[in-house]
Amino acid sequence: MYLTETHLQVRDMARDFADQVIRPVAEELDREEKFPAGLYDEMAKLGLFGIGVPEALGGPGFDTLTYALVMEELSRGYASVADQCGLLELISTLLVRHGTAVQQGLLGDILAMRTKVAYCITEPEAGTDVSGIRTTAVADGDGWVLNGGKIWIHNAPVADLGFVLARTDKDAGNRGMSIFIVDLHAVGVTRGPKEHKMGQRASQVGGLDFKDVRLGAGALLGAAGRGFHMMMSVLDKGRVGIASLAVGIGQAGLEAAVDYAGQRRQFGKAISEFQGVQWLLADMAKDIEAARLLVQSAAVKIDRGEDATKACSMAKCFAGDMAVARTADAVQVFGGSGYIRGFEVERLYRDAKITQIYEGTQQIQRMIIARELLKKGARV
């Protein structure tokens, strides 16, 4: 089996944490749209943030497959919590790959959740089309001046630092973007109101506006003009993370549906004895397992240093579609109860939808898969 003893130990730790700590409070977090700071403190102590950060930089130094396993288990508990793990994995990966020694020194507080971070890309005219970025950073002496705005940014209402993609050369296209580490408490930074989302409601999302925000030379992450390429370099890992999250949502739905089908009685017998319900459960189980295997295969390709772009897009696309379809089946098994707030499957159905949208829509994933097929052929 390709899962090592270490993989299994970390997975089981994350599973126990999800069952014992996350799931009991998931409904409350969803209802109150609460940022679970105390829960994140516990996760930080267990080393569940920055899973791929090398030990020399204060992380556990685990591989992408371990990250996928942790994301799935945390998402079984509540996808909003797994989202925080995914966000910190992307930020820490950027810092490990491109940060100066001083910038990498931020990792300790970030992974301990003493410093909360936001990954600031999306704008009104730049969602899937990142080339539409209008936020600018203009060189000024030995620093920069930042102007513009971002929307739908994860952690924006609570973050201390923003990793902001801005245009530094308006004539250079994708080669004219850079990433800056911005103090979100600085003069000129304004936060918009917290958005109220359909699902994953404990994830804090909002807007950020920058007006003549002065940045020192040390705010630039990596080289000027390489921001787009740096951002793209972590997308494969990001898609594995979201795909794993989608698998966790689906798995939670299956577990709830199997338990309910064994308890709910109609026409004198448990509904699990009816073939129609059995087939729903069977289809849920096979699709969840197929998605899990796609995700883990993509993670292994990353860890081996192979070209993983197609595999990651396939995993994200399939897992996101699976999560939406199969949580709908879980609602169907519950019948009218599944449509009522307070039943887990109602929340899971809402939580699943965003997995078809963020980290690249399903339409973009299909474009990438087709592009890779036409460029490199159909053989595996």
Residues with catalytic function: 359
- The residue written with tokens 């448990």 in the block is 270
What's at 133, amino acid-wise?
A: I
- The residue written with tokens 């902001």 in the block is 164
Question: Three-class SS of residue 156?
Answer: coil
What's at 47, amino acid-wise?
A: G
> Among 253, 201, 239, which residue's Cα sits nearest to residue 362?
239
Task: Give bridge partners of residue 146 from the DSSP assignment.
Answer: 137, 213
Question: Three-class SS of residue 360?
Answer: coil
**d(Cα 327, Cα 299) in Å, to the nearest integer?**
24
> What is the DSSP pairing of strand 143-154 with strand 117-120?
unpaired
Cα-to-chain-centroid distance, residue 334: 28
**d(Cα 43, Cα 47) in Å, to the nearest integer?**
6
Look up residue 353 and give its two tokens.
């939808």
Contact assessment for residue 348 and residue 330, using Cβ atoms and an 8 Å cutoff? yes
> Among 321, 315, 285, which residue's Cα sits nearest to residue 299?
315
* Strands in the chain per DSSP E: 117-120, 136-140, 143-154, 161-167, 177-183, 189-194, 205-215, 220-221, 265-266, 269-270
Contact assessment for residue 78 and residue 29, using Cβ atoms and an 8 Å cutoff? yes
> What is the DSSP pairing of strand 161-167 with strand 117-120?
parallel
Cα-to-chain-centroid distance, residue 273: 37
Look up residue 259 and give its two tokens.
């338990």
Q: How far is CA 341 from CA 1, 30, 252, in A?
A: 40, 10, 16
DSSP state of 195: P
